[in-house]
Amino acid sequence: MISPREGPFDLAIIGAGASGLMAAATGARAGMSTVVLDLNDRPGAKLSLTGGGRCNILPADFDPGAYVTSSSRNSLAKILRRWSPSLARSFFEEAGVRPEPEEGTGKLFASSTTDGAASVVRTLVRIASDAGAVFMFRSRVIDIEPSGGRWKVRLEGGGTVDARSVMIATGGRSWPGTGSGGWGFTMAARLGHRVRQAYPALVPLRSEDAGFAGLSGIVVHAAISSRFEGRPFTVEGPLLFTHRGFSGPVTMDASHAFTGAEEAPAALLVRWGRPDASEWERTLLSGKGRILGALGEHLPSRLAALLLERAGLRPEARFAELDRPGRLSLLAVLTRFPLPVCGHCGWDEAEVTGGGVALEEVDPGSMESRLHPGLHLAGEVLDAFGPVGGWNLYWAWLTGRMAGRA
C-alpha cells in the first residue's frame, strides 16, 4: 500500500473487478507501473459472487453473433477477434486456474479443486502484484481529467494519482451492492463520449398472470423469439416459473427485448418444449387419444393443462374432436405464445448492464478512447453484453487484457 500522491504511474485502473484485474495483470507483466483504485475494501467484489461463487469463467461454445449491442456490430466483431476464448482458457490454465465443464450443462467453471471465484480473484491479484502493481482499496475516485499529456485522478478526501494512461473499469449498474453505481457512465459522458441509456439485462421478468404463477418452481425447456432494435433473435434453454413471473437462462437471455426497448417492447413469443413448430404440428395432426396426454410427453403436466386451457380446449379433449380452428389455436399456443410480462426484477437481480459507451468511440485493438488519448475503457461500461454462461466474464477478460497491453 502506498500514499495516493506517490507515483507517477504508467497506468491507473479505476475498478478492481474482472476487467480491471485482468488489465492490472497484463499491464504490470508488460512492465508498466500500475495502480488499481477501488472503492471496496477488497478486489473482485462482484466477480467473487459470479456463478454462486463458482465462477462461470468462460463460455463453453462461442458465437460472436450472440452478443447484444446498440453500437456498430462491425466494431464489436473487431474487438471479439482480438483474443479467443481458447486463448483465454490457456491463460488461466497456465496461471493455475483450470476451467472445468460442468456435468450435464458443459458450462466452464473454475476448477472444482479450488474455491472457484475466489481463486480466480487471488490468481489475478497475485500475477499483478508479483509484477509490481499496487492496489489501493477504499479509494473512491471523484474525477479524472487530462493534464499536460497525462491524467490526474482525484480521490475523495483530496488525494490525487498521476498517470500516463487511465482506465475506466468500474462496471455498469447491475448488483449495486458491490459498488456498481454507474460512475463510469457518468464520467465517460462528462468527457464527451456517447453513452447509450443503461438498462437491466439478463434479468428475471415479472408477470401478473395467476395461471403461470401457479406453476412456480417448474422448469421447462423453451425457445423465446423476439426483436431488439429491429433485429430478430431466438434463444433457447431452461425457463423457470416463479411466483413473481419468469426466470431461468432463456428468460434472462431474452429479457433485453423488454427492458432495453426505447418504445413499446416487442412481444416475447415462446415455443414450449423441445419439439420445433413442425414437430408440434405433426403431433397435432397424427395424435390419438387425449390431447393432454400427448402434450404431457414433452411438457410438465400442469403446464400442458394450462396451455390447453389457453387454447380454449377442455382438459379431457381428444384428438378425434379437434377441428382445424382448434388445432391452429393450440399450435399457436405451443409455438408462438406471447409471454405475459409486466415488468422486471431490477438492478439488484440483473446479471449485467445493457447500454453503455458506444463501441465505435473506442479503438478495437487497445480499447483507447478515440476522443481522449490515454483514456481506456473496458468491461461492462462498454455497450455490449452476451448470454448467461461465461460470455460476460470473457468480455471482461478480453477488453481488460487489450487495455492493459496498450
pLDDT over threshold 70, residue 27: yes
pLDDT digits (tens, 9 = 90+) for 171-227: 999 999 998 899 999 999 999 999 999 999 999 999 999 999 999 999 999 999 999
**Does residue 1 fall inside a structural domain?**
no
The C-alpha atoms of residue 26 and residue 23 are separated, in whole angstroms, by 5
With H, G, I as helix, E, B as strand and everything else as coil, classify residue 199.
strand
**Does residue 268 fall inside a structural domain?**
yes
List alpha helices for 8-84, DSSP H: 18-29, 73-80
User: Of 309, 326, 345, which residue constitutes the final position of a domain?
Assistant: 345
**Does residue 307 fall inside a structural domain?**
yes
pLDDT over threshold 50, residue 104: yes
Residue 64's nearest CA partner among 51, 83, 42 is 83
pLDDT over threshold 80, residue 112: no
User: Of 345, 369, 390, which residue constitutes the final position of a domain?
Assistant: 345
Same domain, 189 and 169: yes
Same domain, 249 and 368: no
Same domain, 209 and 265: yes
**Does residue 217 fall inside a structural domain?**
yes
Q: Match 490525487 to its residue by C-alpha cell.
A: 160
Arithmetic mean of pLDDT, 372-392: 97
- CATH, residue 58: 3.50.50.60
Residue 23's nearest CA partner among 152, 110, 131, 159 is 131
pLDDT for the residue numbered 5 = 45
Residue 192 or residue 262, greater confidence: 192
pLDDT for the residue numbered 3 = 46
Same domain, 181 and 215: no
Q: Which residues lie below 8 Å from residue 373, measured CB to CB, with a gap of 6+?
A: none
Neighbouring C-alpha atoms within 13 Å toward the C-beta of 199: 19
Q: Match 387425449 to its residue by C-alpha cell.
A: 290
**Count of domains in the chain?**
2
Same domain, 330 and 401: no
**Does residue 3 fall inside a structural domain?**
no
User: Of 296, 311, 345, which residue constitutes the final position of a domain?
Assistant: 345
DSSP strand E in 261-336: where? 269-272
pLDDT digits (tens, 9 = 90+) for 39-53: 999 999 999 888 888
Same domain, 19 and 43: yes
**139, 179 contact by CB (below 8 A):** no
**Does residue 69 fall inside a structural domain?**
yes
Residue 170 or residue 103, greater confidence: 170
Same domain, 376 and 340: no
3-state secondary structure 331-373: HHHHHCEECCCCEECCCCCCCEEEEEECHHHECCCCCEECCCC
pLDDT for the residue numbered 49 = 87
Same domain, 329 and 393: no
Give the pTM: 0.95
**Does residue 2 fall inside a structural domain?**
no
Same domain, 252 and 167: no
Domain housing 86 = 9-200+352-405
The C-alpha angle 197, 19, 151, rounded to 5 degrees, equals 80
**Does residue 299 fall inside a structural domain?**
yes
Same domain, 141 and 13: yes
Same domain, 311 and 383: no
pLDDT digits (tens, 9 = 90+) for 348-367: 999 999 999 999 999 999 99
Same domain, 123 and 195: yes
Residue 34's nearest CA partner among 376, 393, 362, 398 is 376
The C-alpha atoms of residue 272 and residue 250 are separated, in whole angstroms, by 12
pLDDT digits (tens, 9 = 90+) for 138-183: 999 999 999 999 999 999 999 999 999 999 999 999 999 998 899 9
